[in-house]
Amino acid sequence: MTDIKTYPTKPFDCWGKAKELREDIYRKLAQKASGEKDWLVASGGTEGLIGLPAGLGDDYVPFGGEPYGASTGAMGKSEEMMVHCENKGYARDLCGYCRNYLGSAFGDKYAFGGKYPHPDFYFQLHFCDTHGKWYQPAAEWTNKPYFVIDCGAMYRWPKWNESHDRKQNKFKYLLDQMHESIPWMEKVTGREYDDGKLGQAVYNEIMSTSKWAKCCELNKNIPAPMDEKSMYAFYVVHVLRRHTKESVDFFDMLYDELEDRIAKGIAGVKHERYRMIHNSQPPWYALDIFRYLEKFGAVCMGSQYDFMLSGGWDYYYDEDDVPHIRAAEPPQDLKKKVETRDGALRALTAWLLDYGLQIRSFRFPMIERRNIDVCIARDWNCQGAIMHLNRGCEGWAVGQLEVRRALIEAGFPVLTYEGNVADPREFDRARTFARIDAFMEGQELKRLVD
């Protein structure tokens, strides 16, 4: 142990604030379900447009399906919810998050206690095959209205000779649908839409997602100030509420704390000596995987999933034609841009098309999917990768072994393990830990602590 460097560690000062901001959303949803307070609830995916309903009033609460599905898994309640979904005839190879969410609706059970919080309407950005249908049966079951926005090819290529007209057509296609959604929301809620609240929501979203990307960039430092298990507690703040001022304030606070940790040499993992990128979502019921890796001095310093779920990244090629990512900078005149409805929607559309990297890399084309994990592993100073062959998410499973091949070709050994993001019945703990042992032995890393 004398030749193993030991770094100081300490709990995050902002951990309590992150917990408070997460629990605030789920507490309000519980109040909705119990009748204690009639919050205006819109439910849908959290990868896109959760800020758009903010113009309906300060009592708006988003009910995001993916973070709810993940929390249900982390709390060990997936099987309870999934049985209701499977009893309706849904297959076990369907998205794990979706089965947790639909099972909650069908069984009228809320993972945090009480009854399912029925939304006032469903509002979805369609970029994943499952997501396009996910909220349709939920809306039919609860007899609530549903609006879906099709993102189409939701990105503008940095180098593939895409014409100006094609880029503009993508912009107009998405922008027009956003405009169409607002009178629809007014009609189904009976409320007048406040463009000022929309502008503030768009401003907050752009600022908070940019700042989260800057927080992730600080993990290039050696030692990394954050480990990935901690990052899961932080990134979800912008997933749940990136359109709020509380989100902006939180990520400013986190950034300052990370800079302070770097200045003081405080690490996320005490004996960091092997850095890894993680691929796909984790099995939320088995986050002790990351603690087990620490026993070897291995740290997962991030992933495409938690870096990019809500955008905020600039994807570019350097002079040697090598791809990189960096935190996207908000427009300098952003406050002025969002003063009108059209200006706010244009700012949000441009941000998603240019910097919504999660959606660019989530499915196709494979060349970008291959590139992004490699550039993270390279630019964040990693030596290897760990890949969850996740049977609970079709979007991440598409082309995953091509990503593995790209990492190996770039010189990064890859540890794979099988599982499901939310369904513990798909996970073999003993086998997974044995694979970690074998991989670490191949990397000549002996266990430092028991």
Residues facing residue 418 across a β-bridge:
389
What is the arithmetic mean of pLDDT over 225-242? 94
What is the arithmetic mean of pLDDT over 248-262? 98
Residue 228 CA to residue 153 CA, distance in Å, equals 30
Query: What pTM did the predictor assign?
Result: 0.95
Dihedral pair phi/psi, residue 303, rounded to 5°: -160, 160
Q: Which range is least confidently modeled, 255-269, 325-339, 355-369?
A: 355-369
- DSSP letters spanning 320-381: TS-EEEEEPPPPTTHHHHTTSHHHHHHHHHHHHHHH-HHHHHHSS-HHHHHHHHHHHHHHTT
CA angle 234, 240, 243 (to 5 degrees): 105
Q: What are the pLDDT digits (tens) for 103-156?
A: 999 999 999 999 999 999 999 988 777 777 889 999 999 999 999 998 766 667
Domain boundaries, the chain: 15-442
Nearest to 294 by CA among 422, 421, 416, 445: 445
180 compared with 359, residue with greater pLDDT:
180
Residue 228 CA to residue 180 CA, distance in Å, equals 39
pLDDT exceeds 50 at position 187 = yes
Predicted local confidence at residue 450, as pLDDT: 63
pLDDT exceeds 90 at position 25 = yes
Q: Is 314 helix (H, G, I), strand (E, B) or coil?
A: strand
